[in-house]
Amino acid sequence: MRPLRGQNRRQDGATLVEFALVMPLIMLLFIGIMEFGMSFYDFLTVEQAAREGVRTGAFVGTAPDADCQIMTSIVDFLPNGFLDRVDRFEIYEATSDGDQIASRTNTWTYTGGDPDPCANPLLNWSVVEQWPSSTRQTAAGSQPLDIIGIRIQMTHNWITGFPPFTGSYVIDESTILRMEPEAFE
């Protein structure tokens, strides 16, 4: 009776060697897909949070707690664990080209604790206000309406630390929208 393995004994172990050569490439591909997937998820989440904030900002206009409402809409949109990785939030007036006016920018930085920006913003947030909501142009009339912008900067840390995915990088997303006019009857 003939053995099932075949008669050529020189091929023994070839499959194991081929597997050992191909497996690192397969693992690198798998890790790359996972890393880029998580990075893309973070990017889309930050982008959508900025959109939520700018929509709220365009709607609330000159309300005394406008920035608080904007920040609440952003914080409520972010999943658990994101707020600790966000470096800063900026609420700013933009030019018609979409450029940020640095002298008219409110900067919010989360310092830890209760994430609710309306509860006690000075306790858990570092706030620099240069564009009060009362100065925003929202009245329909001779002047053009202001353009509000939201900018979010977040640090994305690579999960595996496997080369070339070492360290971190900053996701920086901005969104602008023209303020909605206030209509009084």
Q: What is the pLDDT of residue 9?
A: 65
Q: Taking 60 as the threshold, does the pLDDT of residue 136 lie above it? A: yes
- The fraction of the chain above a pLDDT of 90, given in percent, is 61
Mean pLDDT (whole number) for 1-25 = 76
Residue 184 lies in a domain: no
Judged against a pLDDT cut of 70, whether residue 6 lies above it is answered with: no
Rounding to the nearest 10 degrees, give the CA dihedral for residues 126, 130, 132, 133: -90
Residue 165 pLDDT grade (very low, low, confident, very high; cuts 50, 70, 90): confident
DSSP sequence for 82-107 = SGGGEEEEEEEEE-TT--EEEEEEEE
Q: Residue 59 falls within a domain, yes or no?
A: yes
Q: Is residue 121 part of a domain?
A: yes
Domain that holds residue 106: 12-178
Residue 7 domain flag:
no
Mean pLDDT of 23-27: 94
Distance CA 17, CA 117 (A): 58
The pLDDT assigned to 182 comes to 77
Residue 132 domain-assigned?
Answer: yes
- In this prediction the pTM is 0.84
Bridging pattern class, strands 125-128 and 147-157: unpaired
Give the chain's domain count: 1
> Would 4 be classed as within a structural domain?
no
Whether 114 shows a pLDDT value over 90: the answer reads no
Q: Check whether 3 has a pLDDT greater than 70.
A: no
Q: What pLDDT digit, counting tens, does each position of 75-97 carry?
A: 999 998 888 899 999 999 999 89
- Has residue 2 been placed in a domain? no
Reported as a pLDDT band with limits 50, 70 and 90, residue 120 is confident
pLDDT for residue 121: 73
In the predicted structure, residue 8 carries a pLDDT above the cut 80: no
Instruction: Answer yes or no: is 90 within a domain.
Output: yes
